[in-house]
């Protein structure tokens, strides 16, 4: 699917369309003062990111400014589990300093979970919300979490229980629909782009006598945004990565080996950026679809190790794999400043939209301009977001299916913050050779 930018209430032609978030807020605030009093709960769900807490902090800090509306600001421990089990903490009793520190703390300070809600769970959630007079529900997460937020929203509507439910987006995979991009993605992209560029130099340095092929196995089982983003740091054809494989484009072992060999013949070394979810033309994970017998245990080592071994066995060239794993989503020292700030804003704006009386939306990011980059927030109906995956559109991938193109780079580049310039290479003015060639 193609990228679709979301405007708040795009069908309604609301008067605040085209205004900045602050303007929207002020304008609406004048028209409809929020009157629903009650407690607010915020929860985090799914795999954390480096800026996950920045979003939760945005919700909490903004909510704490409005004690005329929020009788309590609760953080649920471990996502919806905390609501189900009434394990919630009172944010008013935490120090402002430790709440502020969330903006620079990786992972999930409240704790996260993975849980698909069933009917009993929803009844319990209603009971808990009623018992505690919870009237505002903020769920911070990815595709599955938007499903949870949506179910809670609908549960309240169906029960006639007045409550405002919001999804706050998060995922390094960047695969939520109805938003230009997702908080968490820019930071992971920054880390993996710089790591890939630097690993490229490392591999190039020693290609002559050590290991000339290095595969970066990158998170994103269904969408290749993060894998593609490793291309940001390139300046010339020697800069890594040289090949990019994403789940969106089917790949065969033969095609892969052919691509690798061509780059190796040309440059003498190869860096491959490989999505862990890369698939064959039948849609099966590449590793599973090929010689499993020769491979042994699929639990041990992913597709990167499998392909590295295939290269070594078939082409006779030493290969290795780097699997940064959960470092990709947690190393806050490498966070993108843009991402940190936007993550905070989607949380903060969630409160402002809730005070306007909205419910059943995910706060989205709406790009206004690429250069200079500018982005505002919008609202996407949870119904249109839950459980859907935004893949990289085919038109952002090169024709051969082994790299991204300029359209992709234009989209991704502003999200990662300023990237230090690539490293120069020497011109290599060779000295004259005075002796016979050495034959050993």
Subset of 175-204 contacting a copy of itself (CB under 8 A): 194-195, 198-199, 201-204
CA distance 170 to 176: 8
Calpha distance 326→47 (Å, rounded)? 9
Nearest to residue 150, comparing CAs of 171, 186, 182, 176? 176
Minimum CB separation of residue 128 from a copy of itself in Å reads 7
Would you state the structure tokens that stand for residue 237, as one six-digit string? 């054809």
> x/- site string to a copy of itself, residues 137 to 176, per CB under 8 A?
----------------------------------------
Give the residue with the Cβ less far from a copy of itself, 324 or 396: 324
Side-chain half-sphere exposure of 62, counting CA atoms within 13 A: 22
Instruction: Specify whether the CB–CB gap between 319 and 215 falls below 8 A.
Output: yes
Contacts (CB under 8 A) with a copy of itself, residues 315-344:
320-327, 329-334
Which of 8, 47, 58, 247 is close enough to bind a copy of itself by CB under 8 A?
47
Q: Which of 224, 190, 172, 111 is nearest to 343 (CA)?
A: 172
For a copy of itself, the binding residue among 32, 98, 252, 407 (CB under 8 A) is 98
Is 68 known to be catalytic? Answer: no
DSSP 423: P
Instruction: Report how many residues bind a copy of itself under the rule CB under 8 A.
Output: 95
44 is an interface residue for a copy of itself by CB under 8 A? yes
Integer Cα distance of 226 and 244 in angstroms: 11
Please choose, out of 114-122, 178-186, 250-258, 359-367, the segment that lies near a copy of itself by the rule CB under 8 A. 114-122
81 assigned to a ligand binding site: no
> Judged by CB, which is closer to a copy of itself: 66, or 92?
92
Q: Which is nearer to a copy of itself, 12 or 432 (CB)?
A: 432
**CB 362 within 8 Å of CB 380:** yes
Which residues, numbered 415-434, are part of the site for a copy of itself (CB under 8 A)? 420, 423-431, 433-434
Does 132 bind a copy of itself (CB under 8 A)? Our answer is yes
Structure tokens, 417 = 């913050």
Contact 145, 167 (CB under 8 A): yes
Q: Is the CA virtual torsion 170, 70, 135, 96 positive or negative?
A: positive
- The residue within the footprint of a copy of itself, chosen from 6, 7, 54, 112 (CB under 8 A), is 112
Catalytic residue among 121, 147, 173, 305: 173
For residue 42 the two structure tokens come to 């915020």
| Residues flagged as binding site for diphosphate | 47
Residues recognised as catalytic: 173
| Residues flagged as binding site for Mg(2+) | 143
């Amino acid at each position: 699917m193609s990228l679709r930018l979301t405007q708040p209430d795009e069908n309604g032609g609301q008067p605040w369309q085209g205004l900045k978030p602050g303007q929207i807020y002020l304008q609406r605030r004048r028209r409809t003062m929020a009157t629903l009093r009650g407690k607010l709960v915020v929860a985090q769900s799914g795999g954390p990111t480096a800026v996950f807490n920045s979003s939760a902090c945005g919700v909490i800090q903004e909510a704490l400014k409005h004690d005329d509306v929020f009788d309590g600001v609760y953080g649920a421990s471990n996502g919806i589990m905390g609501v189900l089990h009434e394990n919630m903490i009172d944010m008013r009793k935490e120090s402002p300093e430790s709440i502020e520190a969330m903006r620079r703390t990786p992972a999930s300070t409240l704790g996260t979970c993975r849980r698909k809600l069933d009917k009993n769970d929803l009844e319990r959630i209603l009971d808990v919300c009623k018992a505690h007079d919870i009237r505002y529900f903020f769920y911070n997460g990815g595709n599955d979490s938007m499903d949870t937020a949506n179910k809670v929203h609908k549960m309240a509507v169906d029960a006639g229980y007045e409550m405002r439910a919001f999804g706050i987006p998060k995922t390094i995979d960047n695969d939520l629909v109805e938003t230009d991009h997702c908080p968490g993605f820019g930071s992971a992209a920054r880390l993996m782009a710089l790591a890939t560029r630097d690993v490229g130099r490392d591999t190039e340095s020693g290609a002559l006598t050590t290991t000339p092929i290095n595969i970066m196995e990158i998170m994103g089982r269904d969408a290749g945004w993060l894998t593609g983003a490793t291309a940001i740091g390139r300046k010339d054809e020697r800069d890594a990565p040289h090949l990019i494989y994403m789940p969106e484009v089917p790949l065969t072992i033969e095609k892969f080996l052919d691509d690798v060999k061509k780059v190796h013949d040309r440059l003498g070394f190869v860096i491959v950026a490989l999505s862990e979810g890369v698939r064959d033309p039948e849609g099966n994970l590449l590793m599973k679809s090929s010689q499993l017998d020769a491979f042994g245990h699929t639990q041990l080592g992913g597709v990167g190790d499998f392909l590295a071994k295939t290269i070594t066995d078939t082409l006779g060239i030493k290969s290795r794999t780097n699997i940064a794993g959960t470092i990709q989503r947690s190393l806050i020292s490498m966070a993108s400043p843009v991402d940190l700030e936007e993550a905070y804003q989607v949380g903060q704006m969630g409160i402002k939209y809730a005070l306007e009386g909205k419910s059943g939306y995910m706060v989205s990011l709406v790009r206004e301009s690429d250069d200079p980059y500018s982005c505002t927030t919008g609202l996407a109906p949870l119904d249109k977001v839950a459980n859907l995956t935004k893949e990289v559109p085919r038109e952002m991938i090169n024709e051969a299916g082994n790299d991204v193109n300029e359209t992709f780079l234009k989209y991704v580049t502003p999200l990662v913050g300023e990237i230090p310039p690539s490293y120069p290479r020497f011109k290599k003015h060779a000295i004259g050779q005075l002796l016979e060639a050495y034959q050993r």
